[in-house]
Chains A and B, each alone.
Chain A
Amino acid sequence: MIDFELTPEQKEAVAAAHKIAEEMLRPISRYYDEHENESPKELINKMWEGRREGSLMGGIDMTSALRTEEMFWGDAGLALALPSPGLGGAAIVASGTPEQVQRFLGKYNEDGPKWGAMAMTETGCGSDTAAITATAVLDGNEWVLNGEKIFITSGKRAMVDSEGLVVVWATVDKSAGRAGMKPFVVPAGTPGAKVEKKEKKLGIRASDTVTIVFDNCRIPYENILGSPEVRKIDKGTTAGFKKAMATFDATRPFIAAQALGVGRAALDFVKETLEKEGVEIRYGLPRNKLSALERDVMDMEANFKAAKLLTLRAFSLMSQFLPNSLEASMAKAKAGLAITKITQKAVEIMGPLGYSRKCLLEKWMRDGKINDIFEGTGQINMLVVARRVLDFSRDQLK
């Protein structure tokens, strides 16, 4: 039955997350935007306690989507900086054996705060992930990793500040193309994995984004994610690569939910400001009776809603373990672009308030933009959608 009602548990989860966002994230939002090199230790510790109590984060269900939106309504950079297995965890869950999931994530919530990260992008390849040059060579019972990975979200927190891990994508056979691409788990403290340059970014400044250099970095054979059968690599199959892409089916809806949080923050701010000023948005009037401002606000609201419902649909399928590749990319493409436009429009509508760093609006515009870029740019997601609706392979639609 088509239904849009949240369950009582979901309402509770949303309210709890909103309270954290409002009381713990918003008050320090500007500070950590302007102090890029400081870490919100108090927030991290409190949230880690919450995580260990099982009251926060985790899951791939509808509730996790709603909660994500609320947290990112509070602050995108801070929400990204919170301890979590992150994308590394998502890759382990998507590609790892049950034994590996248990080994790498089983004790994740014990002891101090920990982060997980994923290292895919290189200086020479971003969206074209099949072109990665980092190598993994089997030497006895160990893999030897070499290469440089950039734009790793929470990479420093995962590898330097905590006993976390990073999932690194490297090729075991360059001539095999995508088939040779495999994910490897590198725990913090592994010799030969060195965090270098910390990026200075347009937004989400509270979240660290780093380069990690792998220089003869040795990890146990068992740290390759997926089947141990990789010793005999079949050049014809791209199963490993497909698993990498399957990870995106799970992570892209989350990026969309994150975008929604930022977009709603901007939208709420605009609507509250207008209400305070006594400007009413009159729904249901004929178009030619509406002011330009009303049309802008309605347009923003409609696009927000469109993005949100596409996102919830992707989560709905995912939580039923149904294929959602098309819907995930639809949600990500729509939400990334819609929120970019909504936050930019909000800055415009609010005039001098919008552009000033006294308000958070300009920050949300900077923060929001990342959602149209990471985990696949808007264009890459359009490509995925196009291939799906056309039933075209990569070769048929490049």
Chain B
Amino acid sequence: MISFSPTEEQQMIVKLVKQFANDEMRKIYRECDENDEIPGHIIETAWAMGLVSSGIPEKYGGPGGEHSAITGALIAEELAWGDLSMAMHILCPALAIYPILEMGTEAQKQKYLPAFCGDKFKAASAALLEPHFEFDPNSLTTIANLKDGGYMLKGQKCYVPLAADADPLLVYADLKGGTCCFIVDKGIKGLEIGEREKNMGIKALATYELSFKNCSVPKENRLGGDKGFDFNRVMNCSRVALAAMAVGMARAAFEYSRDYAKERVAFGEPIASRQAIAFMLAEMAIEVDAARLMNWEAAWKLDKKEEATKEASLAKMYADDMVLTVTDRGVQVLGGHGYIREHPVELWLRNGRGFATFDGMAIV
């Protein structure tokens, strides 16, 4: 039956994360962006909430909770409302955990999952994007070849969050015309981790360019073994995660500029009393909700284990456009003040521009 109400359990998680986002993330988001770093205690506090690890089954040492794309989308929205860089950092280990959990071989699950059931945050990540404008996840230029009983990786990756500490790191590469995934342990020979990247937004998130030069990965580290894995599903889970973050950040921009417009007086009344401003805010509110509902539908399909490429890609595309428009309007409502780094809206615009580029950098 059609329903737009999260379960009670989901509402409780949302409430918890919302509070964390408001009380912790919002207090320090600006200094994180200026200093290009996130204090460790924030990450540890978030990790202790079990947002990522809760879906790991008991037999691998986890609490054995349900792993749901809808719940993941709800969490991602709230975290991104707090701050996008921190949200991506906090959820980063999921980039390795969830594909292994859903699609790994039994041996891979046993080897890698228990390490993420501890009290301390442990970095893990995935490398999908490549540094050229024609990037296409279905025809990657990072190549894998079967050689001497292992897979030889060659190529370049970019926008790999937490790559310097990630253990393991999932690397997506082309194997005979299809996209495969390899679980790469930290410190492997032939993997060169470049300088930390400098981007327009998500400055507090440490991302890196990687280069693989004759990097040999053991045969058993191919995700899902010889039969491989469902790459479409991984992409769709990533689209839902990113779209949810776009919704959360856009909502933040909407709320901030709405409150500002009610306070700011011009020509004797609050600027929100003018239709030119009020209509921008109305459109922002509508589009944030529309993008959220579309994304919920895609997540719902993923939870039913159905093919969701159409829903997820449309939801992501819609959210990409929406978040850019909404964060831009956010700056516009504040006018000159919106351009100054004292207010958060310029940061949200810089971050918002990224979503059309971001691919495979978060997952539900």
Contact = CB atoms under 8 A, between A and B. Distances in A.
A163 B6 CA distance: 47
B40 to A, nearest CB: 34
B323 to A, nearest CB: 14
B321 to A, nearest CB: 8
Where chain A touches its partner, the secondary structure class is helix
Contacts of B297: 4, 305, 309
Given A283-B313, A309-B293, A316-B2, A383 B278 contact: yes
Given A2-B4, A305-B297, A390-B281, A330 B275 contact: no
A286 B318 contact: no
A53 B6 CA distance: 37
Where chain B touches its partner, the secondary structure class is helix
B198 to A, nearest CB: 23
A311 B288 CA distance: 15
A170 interface: no
Given A3-B300, A309-B294, A330-B286, A287 B3 contact: no
B75 interface: no
Contacts of B314: 283, 298, 301-302, 305
Contact of B318 (A302, A379, A397): A302
Interface in A366-398: 379, 382-383, 385-387, 389-390, 392, 396-398
Given A310-B289, A397-B275, A397-B278, A3 B3 contact: yes
Contacts, number: 138
Contact of B2 (A5, A303, A306): A5
Interface in B268-310: 270, 272-273, 275, 278-279, 281-283, 285-287, 289-291, 293-294, 296-297, 299-300, 309-310
B272 A392 contact: yes
A331 B296 CA distance: 17
Contact of A1 (B7, B133, B279, B318): B7
A81 B312 CA distance: 38
Given A333-B282, A389-B281, A284 B2 contact: no
B1 interface: yes
A6 B299 CA distance: 16
B262 A390 contact: yes
Interface in A289-328: 289, 298, 301-303, 305-307, 309-310, 312-313, 316
Contact of A386 (B134, B270, B278, B287): B278
Contacts of B134: 288-289
